[in-house]
Amino acid sequence: MNLDGRSVIVTGASKGIGRATAKMLADAGAHVCLAARSKARLETVAEEIKANGGNTLVVPTDVSDPKQVASMMKTTQDSLGGLDIMINNAGVGHWDWEGVVGGNLDMWTQEIEVNLLGLMYGTHYAAKLMQEQGKGDIVNIGSGSGRTTAHPWLGYVASKWGVRGFTEASLRDLRDDGIRVTHLIPGAVETPLQPEEDIESTQMLNPEDVADAILYAVSRPDHISINELMLIPSGRE
């Protein structure tokens, strides 16, 4: 699967799924813009990519701020000559052990702003660039929690149900522009979002599993669109 010369943005690229995806797409030949809030962590990922011969760009970005997202897009366009692939991966999650009544409203706000609005901003600005080119790929990272309820992830569940609806609407709106929109739904993934005890006791996907699915989706021939792709652990090691 070859992405030679294609320009990519990966949000949440400093760790977990984003880090694995950025490295895998760079290994496939893409020029990758790394976006997240932590410049230091992004630079570590960039060094790993460069050490393997890849080309990368570090753009610290808080995706919940639309002005920062717009600036990230302009920097990518100016530095990489356009945008072929947008990976909306940035996400946060909090445990709502106190339930609806005792829920932390600040945490709910953050989950909606990052997981849903940040993804919407990224899709909006990416699609504007891709319309000019007449093609492009947008991959939105959802969750199994966007299909079924999951206590005590109240704010997280709400944000991921929103991701599902927005992505389905977007793929219908943008397909006549040659823009493919993929909703990637991983099951439990071994990332910093997961409690350590769950990682030790539950079979999970690893970030590279998700990165590999992303690479598959964006490397299909132009006449094939992967609208939705779900990954779950098979139960076999």
Q: Catalytic residue numbers? A: 156
Q: Are 125 and 70 in contact (CB under 8 A)?
A: yes
Q: Are 189 and 205 in contact (CB under 8 A)?
A: yes
Task: Show the tokens assigned to 92.
Answer: 């946060």
Output the CA torsion sign for 121, 125, 131, 136: negative
Q: Are 185 and 160 in contact (CB under 8 A)?
A: no
* Euclidean distance between CA atoms 186 and 21, whole angstroms: 13
* Euclidean distance between CA atoms 72 and 60, whole angstroms: 8
Q: Are 213 and 38 in contact (CB under 8 A)?
A: no
* Euclidean distance between CA atoms 193 and 203, whole angstroms: 15
